[in-house]
A and B are shown apart, each in its own frame.
Chain A
Amino acid sequence: MSWQRVLALMLRIVRQFRRDRRTLALILVVPVLVLSLIGYIYRGSGESTRLAVVEGNSPLARQVIALLEQTSSLHVTVMEREQALQAVGRREVDGVLVLPTLPVQPGTPLKVELILEGSQPSAAGAIISAVSRALPLAIIQTVSPDGQALQIEPRFLHGGPQFDQLDYFAPTFIGFFAFFFVFLLTSVSFLRERLQGSIERLIVSPLDRKEIVLGYMLGFTLFATVQSIVMVIFTVAVLRIHYVGELWLVAFLTFLLTVGAVNLGIFLSAFARTELQVVQFIPIVITPQGLLSGIIWPVDSLPRPLQWLAQALPLTWANEALRAVMIRGEGLDALGLHLAVLVGFAVAMAALAMVTLRREVA
């Protein structure tokens, strides 16, 4: 093995991509744009959930409305019953809370109606949870205005009241996009080399397969590393996500993941004959990892067979580790298994890439 040859190959790739502005943009600018978009979606506080309240005349009403109005994601409007029902029908509000009108006939239960528009489960969920919180509290306050209200005192082992959805998702987005963009970049560029025949020139040169895979891996990984660092800095400095762990560890985990993605890209590009065929790998390689690796649904909540599948995906391990670092502040010592899996994946893919390169001299 000649490190000089590996270095020459790596430098050539670096030089090539430095000239290729569009690809550079794909690596560095696109992830930042996507992260900005996601940040804006979560934190842009656009439309909040709209709830109409029909006040009735119970002494409860004022307390309930006051408590509901404290919920920041809820926009509360007091309406007449008919008006409110029309509004929910026209989807102007997401739900209607009808508080009772007194007196009720003896023997009839005191009824609180909650009418939900229903086509948006998240809005419905938000209303149900806000109302279920507000009602008992309001009842206690009504019954004993001077007495101590029941208070929930949350105590977080990890994270905290300031952590929101974005803080929970951000670590996995870093992993997912790093994996996705690097895989795409590597597989397409490696295929392009096959198509233009330059890979054959390398195969008949003194370079051996180990040197070729290593040279490519180092060249692409350099960009992947820059990308990971840019993404970590952007999420922390611009999106201002909350985190507790060491940032270098986040960048390092992302780096390990992307080395695997590079090698996977080289390996799989052997099975594509056109750029379009590379794109066809996305639903096979990327989508399942996006769905199963715990980004949206925790792996524990998946059906058992899918949990097994998730355990076989490198992104699952990367995501777990990234969350462990950023949300729970865990260190290198707690992530041995995760690191081993990510390194194992990268090595296995490098070995497979070498095997497919050998097939070129078939």
Chain B
Amino acid sequence: MDATVVADEVSRTFGPVRAIDRLTLEIPQGVIYGLLGPSGSGKTTFLRMVVGALRPSEGQLLVLGRTMPDRAVAARIGYMPQTAALYPDLTLRENLAFFGRIYGLRGRRKLEERVEQLASDLGLLGWVDQQLYRFSVGMLQRASLACALLHQPELLVLDEPTVGLDPVLRRSLWAHFRQLAEQGKTLLISTHTMDEAGRCDLLGFLRGGRLLASDTPAALRRQTGQADLEDAFLALAGQPGIPVGEL
């Protein structure tokens, strides 16, 4: 089966800054791929290229078989940006209904069922008819995730989806992600926390726009001879002893 995301020597520059530097990787269908790296390492830039919000400066980026950016695959991708990026004056139901119509979900009843289902999955039942400006950060994150999941995309691109969530909720979300992967969906998730990185099927270490390694967590540990993913990252970055957050 074809890989869902294929990046071949993809670079992205902003003026003199090279945010992504000749990145090559493949993400097969049905896996959770974690992109691990400190802030400023290029995670968001890469995710934005994958969803078609940014054009690669060099190289080729294939997503679901199409060279990005290409609107033809837009309906097959779900994107959750780092900030909620929803409409605070509208209720959760109205936000979801809006994105539902944009993504071509037909039928009021079908849409309503989907809204209830997502609200229940994400612990937002009882909040469906509240305007989003009343939501806490964690609730906004989940509302934003609901919008990304709504149209049941084949590829889910989530930019730090669990920031600001309590551990219980975080765990339940990861269980949900796993379920989606088992259904054959592909998930590309950026994170900077090690415990989340450990839950991914495949992991890419990103630093300064360059992909230091891309493999299963176990293989990365083995390859670096480290028992801990953080140590593995540090070993690959060639700077042992510096916490990831300061890299």
Contacts and interface: CB of A to CB of B under 8 A. Distances in A.
Interface in A124-171: none
Contacts of B87: 12, 16, 198
B86 A198 contact: yes
Contact of B102 (A20, A207, A362): A207
A8 B246 CA distance: 44
Contact of B89 (A20, A204, A360): A20
A307 B48 CA distance: 48
B52 interface: yes
B101 A8 contact: yes
A5 B103 CA distance: 8
Contacts of A206: 71, 74-75, 102-104
A144 B52 CA distance: 92
Given A16-B89, A197-B83, A201-B79, A361 B55 contact: yes
Contact of B71 (A4, A16, A208, A362): A208
B103 to A, nearest CB: 6
Contacts of B48: 200
Contacts, number: 78
Interface residues of B, number: 30
Contacts of A360: 53
Nearest to A211: B102
A15 B54 CA distance: 30
B101 A205 contact: no
A360 B147 CA distance: 21
A106 B74 CA distance: 100
Contacts of A15: 89-90, 94
A196 B88 CA distance: 10
Interface residues of A, number: 27
Nearest to B86: A198
A207 B71 CA distance: 8
A5 B84 CA distance: 21
B51 interface: yes
A208 B102 CA distance: 11
Given A19-B131, A196-B85, A204 B79 contact: yes
Interface in B10-67: 48, 51-55
Contacts of B81: 197, 200-201
A203 interface: yes
A197 to B, nearest CB: 4
A361 B85 contact: no
Nearest to A19: B89
B97 to A, nearest CB: 8
Interface in A71-110: none
Contacts of B84: 196-197
- Of all A-B residue pairs in the complex, the 8 with the closest CB atoms, nearest first, are A197-B85, A8-B101, A19-B89, A204-B51, A206-B74, A198-B85, A12-B98, A206-B75
Interface of A: 2, 4-5, 7-9, 11-12, 15-16, 19-20, 196-198, 200-208, 360-362
10 contacts: A12-B94, A16-B89, A200-B85, A202-B102, A204-B53, A207-B102, A208-B71, A360-B53, A361-B52, A361-B54
Given A5-B101, A9-B102, A197-B84, 6 more contacts: A5-B104, A198-B85, A200-B81, A202-B102, A206-B104, A361-B55
